[in-house]
Structure 1
């Protein structure tokens, strides 16, 4: 499942990559191995996961808090644009307006040639929150691609890749 998430990381020579919900760092490790020169910013809500990630990757730029702090975290670092946003956040956890605000913020801070990748479990894309997520991605991005099912992942997953950001959602 890592390959579709990382495919968009080759869009820049030294990309700025944001990972929302890095958890224990499986994707983080793959990102750092694939693109050693990247500038990485992780945003993790769970304190135990954040502690684990900080111990696993000493010196990593990590914000401990909800994904909604993304605009503030970028501003504090002098970053106006990022090249790739990777997320495995469970869309079911976001109420309608919270999800809209998050996708809008991602689109607003993504470079015109950037990409937002979001993995989700295959079954959840048909649930109401999954359908809402797809609509939000289509609203804020000019192109949304869905990967084939990644069957070896347990549970099976899919990856959305959203490009051509439209921050105003039109």
Structure 2
């Protein structure tokens, strides 16, 4: 699906303003680059009734990349916690179904939108700002949301990888899902980033 022309500068200004007002809610210094967005969106399936959920849509760069790959008849939802970004996304991307809410309550948020399961979940959440319980809660919600064979991708900056919280996140990712891999790095992103991918969790891995 082609995207309408819009102001990338407007996306960036809104994103940076939201960071200044609530830096711990967004957890980034700049929107994802288009190259990172394309990598993250590469897991979008080519089926015409696919449901794709984005966590932490921010300024909408990844939302645009998802839309470009999603076949006609697919459904795209963006779950965003920050009020400023929710308003921005609804104004700048009227075609995008935006659900205001917390990824830790993903099942409830999607239930209110009439969605039971998704074929793909794509995230740019700031995992290293979360404690272990919040990391686990969100990953468990993603796992419960995905259909059998569904895919998950998430953006991780290289600057976050030496941290203890990243190592803990990586362990939870491998415990919760199968087929964990990486794409990238994208050096021109600010900061440089990888995209981690995974498949739906093993039966009985939650708990």
Q: TM-score, normalised by structure 2?
A: 0.76
Structure 1, residues 92-135: CA drift from partner, whole Å, max 9, x if none?
22111111011011011101121110001012122111111111
1:81 to 2:117 alignment: yes
Q: Which residue in the other structure is 2:61 paired with?
A: 26
Task: Supply the distance in 2 between the matched residues of 1:167 and 1:103 (Cα, whole angstroms).
Answer: 14
Over alpha carbons, which structure has the higher Rg?
2
1:10 to 2:59 alignment: no
Correspondence for 2:180 among 137, 144, 156: 144
Q: TM-score, normalised by structure 1?
A: 0.92
**Kept after mapping to 2: 8 A contact 1:104/1:167:** no
- Computed over aligned residues only, the root mean square deviation of the Cα atoms, in angstroms, reads 1.7
More deviation in 20-29 or 76-85?
76-85
For residues 36 and 55 of structure 1, do their structure 2 counterparts lie closer, same or farther at Cα, with a shift above 3 Å needed?
farther
Query: Displacement, 1:10?
Result: 2.4
Q: Which residue in the other structure is 2:160 paired with?
A: 124
1:48 to 2:61 alignment: no
More deviation in 18-27 or 50-59?
50-59
For residues 167 and 137 of structure 1, do their structure 2 counterparts lie closer, same or farther at Cα, with a shift above 3 Å needed?
farther
For residues 79 and 65 of structure 1, do their structure 2 counterparts lie closer, same or farther at Cα, with a shift above 3 Å needed?
closer
- Which runs of at least 4 in structure 1 moved beyond 3 Å after TM superposition? none
1:135 to 2:171 alignment: yes
* Higher relative contact order (Cα pairs below 8 Å, separated by 6+ residues): 1
Alignment length, in residue pairs?
170
| Gapped regions of structure 2 (runs ≥ 5) | 1-35
Q: Which residue in the other structure is 1:162 paired with?
A: 198
**Kept after mapping to 1: 8 A contact 2:152/2:200:** no
Task: Supply the distance in 2 between the matched residues of 1:106 and 1:159 (Cα, whole angstroms).
Answer: 16
| Gapped regions of structure 1 (runs ≥ 5) | none
Q: Which residue in the other structure is 2:96 paired with?
A: 60
Q: Which residue in the other structure is 1:104 paired with?
A: 140
Query: Displacement, 1:23?
Result: 0.5
Query: Secondary structure of the equivalent of 2:45?
Result: helix
Task: Supply the distance in 2 between the matched residues of 1:98 and 1:158 (Cα, whole angstroms).
Answer: 22
